[in-house]
Structure 1
Amino acid sequence: MQKLRRPGWQKHKVGPEGKRLGPAIAALWDSLWSITEIDSRPLLLGFSLCAGVIVYFSQSAEPLVWPCVAATIAAGAVYLAARAIWWMSPVSLPLLIVLGLTGGFTAAAIRTANVAAPVVKEQTRPMMLEGWITEVEPGTKGARLRINVHAMSGVSPDDTPKYVRVTHRLNLQVAPGRFVRCYVQLRPPPSPSLPGDYDFRRQAWFEQLGGVGYVMGRCRGGTLGAPRGWSKQLGLDVSAFRRRLAEHVNIAAGERAGGFAAALISGDRSFMNTADQDALRASGLSHLLAISGLHMAMVGGLVFLIVWRTLALIEPLALRIAVQKPAAVAALVASLTYLVISGASVSTQRAFIMSAVVFGAVLADRAALSLRSYAIAMILVVLLQPESVVTPGFQMSFAASGALIATYDAWSRRRAEQERVLGSVSFTWASLFVTSLIAGTATAPFAIYHFDRLAGFGLMANLLAMPIISFVSAPLAALSLILTPFGFGDLGLRLFGYSLEAVLAVAHWTASLPNAAVTLPISMPVTTLLLSALAIGCAMAAKGRARLLLASMLIVPAGGLWLQADIVIAHWSPSGDIFLRNEHDELVRYQLVDGDGLPPLRYANTETGKLCGASACKVSVARGKLPAGTATLYQGASPDAASVELRLDESVLDFSWPDVRQAGGITVKSGRHGLDVVTAPKCGNRPWRTCDQS
């Protein structure tokens, strides 16, 4: 493709002051100009769309849709005019960025309006609810049922939520696809108790989840048939099939790894035990549980390879057609099938779009894995699901994919300049090491920001587990599918289960090592995350040595801002848990009250401490690395009597459980300006958090 002509100076030429420019400055200039080239513009548009979505979600009030649409149309017209008029071409790049910003902002506003559905405004009295179970998820207090609501007693159809999620604490005797009648108590989706934490209420709005709660007793099957509409009926049929598939795989793959196998094949994690999930999380292998790019790439790639090699053996056919194109069609069909049977979660939809772009590039005789196809996939995902931009799944998957594509592009060019530097086996193992290292490095900022924790032996765990997944588990899963029509599918699943037992053994071993899960003392501020994401983007779009130079110029200030961030000393969540920083600079969870809220996502893996058993317990609290005082936890005769007295230096802070419920969460931070008491984010003029909600 034709490149833009570079103006100004090039390497080692005379600069404006008559002096020779150093190699670093020349490389930086060449790299900055390479970002403006035509091949890089889809990538810049994708990044700009993401930035526009982030700007939208940072607003305190909901914007009107029609001015956003008008601004986007105007920005598009101005950009096209700049591309068509030669004297305006120098400003076409800034105009492209403006188009991306307005486009992302508008896409998010339109999506917010299109998914609008009723939401429970306050905690309800116990009521009868009827509907169809669409999904069953594991939970700490019982199975979580996602129900497509048909009717609620005492609630008009206009105020009835489309979906609710309720916790079923007793033995579950109904399955997805079944119509049920449950006696439930509902409340609005909970707000984040910690500023900057994962906003469940916002995600619930886009999932049309209008209420959460619990079942009083047991859900029982009803006699009402399927809902009206073929699409709803198809959705229930798929849910029922997924559940039957998960149950079969769980039994056939063996007791030890059956739940893990069911989660990988059907996306249903309800059969996995908690110890295995914790081990995968602590070892840095939790990405295996999310049906995302890795799984979709294995399914599509394996089908593509099998069909391609099989057709290549048919000489008359291979001489007449490009056999990789029928293979790409077969891979697309297999990827679509896997998307449906795995539940079509947001991460799986992103992975399918990425796979569709890759195999579409094969059909169009373009490079399958390139930053251009990566940018196209990003643009499509942002336009279809703009809310996913602010989720950990989107950020980590696209950061890892883009970093790997850019790395292997540079690596392939370097290898092309030399003759067979690595043999086939050496290159295979080297690529596994590079893949684990680059993916882990690219996703580290997002993992730290959202979860406040890193897997200390994540690289080692991935180096040990990924060869098993890639070279043993994936082929055995394909073998099981091939043997199923002949009645030997269970044999393949049992072998598949054996391979997953080895993966679980790796996870448990690495998770048991000292410092396997590293908890960082200072939470990453959002500014550091944005600068880190910008550094990763520059490393993708730039060329040559300037990749590291540009990334370093952004990472250094990001690290400086992080070191100056405030430290959380104490946090009392609406879940009833209080988190206190001890003398080892670690947060410890104490279950003081049994609340009905959610603890912060970033503190999900925090160690649980034991109270003394008396009505008042004293706990040592540290301010940073220096002991700063004590916290006295009063349990009281009733939950409303529970309180905390925090003594830090010469300050004494008192909080009661009613204060926490009213504020939605209380956080005590220590920074350069002393102690600061912060409450949960307030309500505002956004659809997912209006001020008439509790």
Structure 2
Amino acid sequence: MSAPNIEHPALPQGRIAHLSVRLTALRARLEAFLEAERGQLPIWAIAAFGAGIALWFALPDPQQWSGLLFLAAGVSLLGFTLVGGRVGAALGWFGLAMAAGCVLVWWRSEQVATIRLEHPRIVELTAKVARVEELAAKGDIRLTLAPSDKNLPPQVRVSIPADEARPGLAAGAVIAMRARLTAPPPMALPGSHDFARDAWFRGDGASGRSMGPVEIKVPAEASGLDDLRARLDHHVRTQLPGASGGIATTLVSGDQNALGEEDADAMRRSGLTHLLSVSGLHLAAVVGGVMFLTLRLLALSRFLALRFNLVLVGAGAGALAGIGYTLLTGLQVPTVRSCVAALLVLGGMALGREAISMRLVAVGALIVLLLWPESVAGASFQFSFAAVTAIVTLHSMSAVRRWLRPRDEGLAMRTVRGFGSLLLTGLVVELALVPFALFHFHRTGLYSVFANLFAIPWTTFVVMPLEATALFLDLGGFGAPFWTATGWAIDQLLALAHWVAGMKGAVATLPTMPVAAFSTMVAGGLWLCLWNARVRLLGLVPIALGAAGAIAAPAPDLLITGDGRHLAVVGADGRPAMLREKSGDFVMSLMSENSGFDGDPLALSDMPGAACSRDSCIADIKRGGRTWRVLATRSGQKLDWQPLTTACASADIVVSERWLPRGCHPRWLKLDRDALEATGGLAIYLKDSPRVATVAERVGSHPWKTPGP
């Protein structure tokens, strides 16, 4: 009798061999892909450098920063030593660049460390003025000062009423004043702007307001770019008083504080705020205008035209104009990036090559990040690079190139083609900026594409040339007619902004966007823009996932500032109701934005389910199938112990700017001065699973965090 025929299972060696073959095939495909995309790999290394900086801001404490460095170093070592080939080189440089970015911003945060004021103080100070900024919207002037008192931080910012300005109050002056100083304001609510971070990297140790007149001990001596900028500001405001003068000043000197609040809000709601930030649009107009005039004027001479390369001369003149304009407007991040890009374009023209490419954008980003790594966390950097990256990506597509390439056709068709190009470019830029606008400002303009379609060419080809001509003719005293024309042109721009801003549904709002959703969309956008092959389309997947996460993010039900003075209960319709009816415009705007509401908040006393006295308010909030009772104090008057503890016991959440007695025991959460000093501002979500988001969690252990109790 023969033995049965039994099939043995596959040997482990067989499975390993099969897996090895598949991995080898996968690596070969990756090698082929990276070889085809080898021109994009240096750009990805710069993106990794920026990612290392961004992750330092996103991760909360030094242990995680160190973990990031070890992980990046491990990836780099793995790529250079074990993997090899194009894949290994890509991994190695990517990890190394990410580690370098994290190290650079960590080092930078330590280098700018300064003494900070721990407690509010009223001081008599003598200081040298480092910078003067006019805040037209507030009717104030903000001074950056270097106090002589060694017991104060080496740099402070103090606001004074505009009518306190005196001749000689400029950079370099020595002044004396009485002022109330406090530590730089922290992030007010989770997801709002972090003013303390800005102050840390600027070197500000305190901020405050004057209390009384400012005495000028040593007037400023007129010299340097600061003096030129100040004289230009004064001259423009003299020629064009009012709102038009504010925009004209911005275009000349880069001072974005020159516009009134109403006009600035209209520019924001209509999506035209970027016109107030001197960047690529303005620099292109200056460089292009100077180059065009240089070529036309020099071409009038037959001798020069036949013996010199006038394109090269014009490019040199444009480069000098771009550098001068960048210096004049104060070396702002968008201007520096645009200046670098313009110089590369001009250099490419001088060499007879096309320089407008994604590499140009990457080099501009690298220079900015090396000089100011902290800019990666700011809206200005993100907006400017997102816009230009979207434009370069769009115009690198073969279909768009075919649409725009020169051809023999009539004027009407050329006009249609140019108009369509402007419309398409504007649409793509606005789509690219939507996540950034919602993340930083909780709102975005829905009609901004059409507003920009008219505003950008109007500013570039009408407003700026008119203003430049007016300034030039003022040298001979003949600029008045052109100032009148400039004022009219700017008035039309403001009229467009107000018209678009006032349209129904002009603004889309969103509560605080989760960092994970924002990061996912940014990563998808980079994948979509930085590859050339069809695999780039996979970037649409993380963009869609991030957008879904952002839209699904719930609105907070309760918002509380870190000092406990301001509280907003968010109604079922999304409208916030304020504890204090006389809250300032900044606080009211803050509460509306973080609630995802476009409009003014209510008073809590007018909200259904709320009852307020002079000293406190009680509000019932129905969420998640139950009713939450909130008790909040709103005066400094002494409260009787027995009624207070009884009210605490009947409330789920108690909020107060003062210290509450130990006998105050709410059912869920007690937020008095001690607790708020530890948490900072809060956003409370009551639906489904109740949770609390705090500023302290958002800031983590970064050096600008507010010291605990």
TM-score of the aligned structures, taking structure 1 as reference length: 0.82
Q: Do the aligned partners of residues 244 and 109 (structure 1) sit closer, same or farther apart at CA in structure 2, a change above 3 Å counting?
A: same
Q: Do the aligned partners of residues 610 and 171 (structure 1) sit closer, same or farther apart at CA in structure 2, a change above 3 Å counting?
A: farther
* Residue number in structure 2 paired with 1:394: 381
Separation in structure 2 between the aligned mates of residue 111 and residue 546 of structure 1, nearest angstrom:
37
* Residue number in structure 1 paired with 2:25: none
Contact residue 578 and residue 592 of structure 1 kept, 8 A: no
Give 1:107's aligned amino acid.
L
Structure 1 alignment gaps of length 5 or more: 1-15, 18-28, 227-232
Deviation at 1:503, TM superposition (A): 0.3
Matches within 5 A, 1:527-566: 527-543=516-532, 545-547=534-536, 549-566=537-554
Give 1:441's aligned amino acid.
L
Instruction: Return the match for 1:668 from 684, 693, 701.
Output: 684
Instruction: Return the match for 1:102 from 95, 99, 103.
Output: 99
* Residue number in structure 2 paired with 1:22: none
* Residue number in structure 2 paired with 1:49: 49
Which moves more between the two structures, 201-210 or 607-616? 607-616
Give 1:607's aligned amino acid.
D
* Residue number in structure 1 paired with 2:33: 33
Which moves more between the two structures, 266-275 or 92-101? 266-275
Instruction: Confirm whether residue 608 of structure 1 aligns to residue 598 of structure 2.
Output: no
Deviation at 1:270, TM superposition (A): 4.7
Contact residue 263 and residue 494 of structure 2 kept, 8 A: yes
Contact residue 559 and residue 568 of structure 2 kept, 8 A: yes
Deviation at 1:545, TM superposition (A): 5.0
Per chain length, whose mean CA-contact separation is higher, i.e. which structure has more relative contact order (CA < 8 Å, sep 6+)?
A: 1
Separation in structure 2 between the aligned mates of residue 255 and residue 473 of structure 1, nearest angstrom:
16
Q: Do the aligned partners of residues 200 and 88 (structure 1) sit closer, same or farther apart at CA in structure 2, a change above 3 Å counting?
A: same
Give 2:41's aligned amino acid.
R
Secondary structure of 2:572 counterpart: coil
Instruction: Return the match for 1:176 from 170, 173, 182.
Output: 170
Instruction: Confirm whether residue 378 of structure 1 aligns to residue 369 of structure 2.
Output: no
* Residue number in structure 2 paired with 1:366: 353
Deviation at 1:36, TM superposition (A): 6.1
Which moves more between the two structures, 240-249 or 137-146? 137-146
* Residue number in structure 2 paired with 1:437: 427
Give 1:378's aligned amino acid.
A
Contact residue 133 and residue 142 of structure 2 kept, 8 A: yes
Give 2:705's aligned amino acid.
R
Give 2:38's aligned amino acid.
I
* Residue number in structure 2 paired with 1:677: 692
Which moves more between the two structures, 410-419 or 217-226? 410-419
Separation in structure 2 between the aligned mates of residue 475 and residue 173 of structure 1, nearest angstrom:
32
Matches within 5 A, 1:179-578: 179-223=174-218, 237-410=224-397, 411-415=399-403, 423-520=413-510, 522-543=511-532, 545-547=534-536, 549-574=537-562, 576-578=565-567
Q: Do the aligned partners of residues 424 and 52 (structure 1) sit closer, same or farther apart at CA in structure 2, a change above 3 Å counting?
A: same
* Residue number in structure 1 paired with 2:661: none
Deviation at 1:47, TM superposition (A): 0.9
Which moves more between the two structures, 433-442 or 142-151? 142-151
Q: Do the aligned partners of residues 291 and 418 (structure 1) sit closer, same or farther apart at CA in structure 2, a change above 3 Å counting?
A: closer
Separation in structure 2 between the aligned mates of residue 590 and residue 405 of structure 1, nearest angstrom:
48
Give 2:541's aligned amino acid.
M
Separation in structure 2 between the aligned mates of residue 485 and residue 531 of structure 1, nearest angstrom:
53
Contact residue 579 and residue 590 of structure 1 kept, 8 A: yes
Separation in structure 1 between the aligned mates of residue 574 and residue 456 of structure 2, nearest angstrom:
33
* Residue number in structure 2 paired with 1:24: none
Which moves more between the two structures, 387-396 or 523-532? 523-532
Question: CA-atom RMSD, angstroms?
Answer: 4.1
Q: Do the aligned partners of residues 324 and 511 (structure 1) sit closer, same or farther apart at CA in structure 2, a change above 3 Å counting?
A: same
Give 1:527's aligned amino acid.
A
Contact residue 45 and residue 96 of structure 1 kept, 8 A: yes
Secondary structure of 2:346 counterpart: helix
Deviation at 1:640, TM superposition (A): 9.8
Separation in structure 1 between the aligned mates of residue 457 and residue 487 of structure 2, nearest angstrom:
15
Secondary structure of 1:486 counterpart: coil
Secondary structure of 2:331 counterpart: coil
Deviation at 1:407, TM superposition (A): 0.5
Separation in structure 1 between the aligned mates of residue 638 and residue 137 of structure 2, nearest angstrom:
21
Separation in structure 2 between the aligned mates of residue 242 and residue 88 of structure 1, nearest angstrom:
54
Separation in structure 1 between the aligned mates of residue 210 and residue 159 of structure 2, nearest angstrom:
6
Structure 2 alignment gaps of length 5 or more: 1-20, 23-28, 606-611, 659-671
Deviation at 1:125, TM superposition (A): 3.6
Deviation at 1:603, TM superposition (A): 4.1
Q: Do the aligned partners of residues 39 and 252 (structure 1) sit closer, same or farther apart at CA in structure 2, a change above 3 Å counting?
A: same
Deviation at 1:389, TM superposition (A): 0.5
* Residue number in structure 1 paired with 2:87: 90
Give 2:320's aligned amino acid.
V
Deviation at 1:200, TM superposition (A): 1.5
Contact residue 437 and residue 459 of structure 1 kept, 8 A: yes
Separation in structure 1 between the aligned mates of residue 362 and residue 238 of structure 2, nearest angstrom:
41
Give 1:176's aligned amino acid.
A
Contact residue 37 and residue 532 of structure 2 kept, 8 A: no
Q: Do the aligned partners of residues 255 and 145 (structure 1) sit closer, same or farther apart at CA in structure 2, a change above 3 Å counting?
A: closer
1:521-566 residue CA offsets vs partner (Å, 9 max, x unmatched): x43211111111112212212336544x323211222133234434
Separation in structure 2 between the aligned mates of residue 639 and residue 362 of structure 1, nearest angstrom:
74
Secondary structure of 2:427 counterpart: helix
Separation in structure 1 between the aligned mates of residue 519 and residue 164 of structure 2, nearest angstrom:
44
Deviation at 1:324, TM superposition (A): 2.5
Contact residue 525 and residue 562 of structure 1 kept, 8 A: yes
Deviation at 1:145, TM superposition (A): 1.7
Contact residue 583 and residue 627 of structure 1 kept, 8 A: no
Q: Do the aligned partners of residues 531 and 485 (structure 1) sit closer, same or farther apart at CA in structure 2, a change above 3 Å counting?
A: same
Separation in structure 1 between the aligned mates of residue 52 and residue 59 of structure 2, nearest angstrom:
11
Q: Do the aligned partners of residues 39 and 423 (structure 1) sit closer, same or farther apart at CA in structure 2, a change above 3 Å counting?
A: farther
Separation in structure 2 between the aligned mates of residue 657 and residue 322 of structure 1, nearest angstrom:
71
Give 1:565's aligned amino acid.
A
Secondary structure of 1:423 counterpart: helix
Contact residue 77 and residue 92 of structure 2 kept, 8 A: no
Contact residue 250 and residue 262 of structure 1 kept, 8 A: yes
Which moves more between the two structures, 474-483 or 33-42? 33-42
Q: Do the aligned partners of residues 196 and 487 (structure 1) sit closer, same or farther apart at CA in structure 2, a change above 3 Å counting?
A: same
Contact residue 589 and residue 609 of structure 1 kept, 8 A: yes
Contact residue 357 and residue 373 of structure 1 kept, 8 A: yes
Separation in structure 2 between the aligned mates of residue 57 and residue 423 of structure 1, nearest angstrom:
50
Instruction: Return the match for 2:114 from 95, 112, 117.
Output: 117
Separation in structure 2 between the aligned mates of residue 107 and residue 600 of structure 1, nearest angstrom:
32
Which moves more between the two structures, 105-114 or 63-72? 63-72
State, as a whole percentage, how many aligned pairs show the same letter: 25
Deviation at 1:299, TM superposition (A): 1.6
1:637-680 residue CA offsets vs partner (Å, 9 max, x unmatched): 54999x999x9xx9832211232652422321245x42213332
Contact residue 640 and residue 656 of structure 1 kept, 8 A: no
1:237-292 residue CA offsets vs partner (Å, 9 max, x unmatched): 43333222112212313545112211221223454222111111111111111222
* Residue number in structure 1 paired with 2:608: none
Deviation at 1:206, TM superposition (A): 1.1
Secondary structure of 1:485 counterpart: coil
Contact residue 574 and residue 595 of structure 1 kept, 8 A: no
1:289-336 residue CA offsets vs partner (Å, 9 max, x unmatched): 122222222222222233234445545444444433222221222122
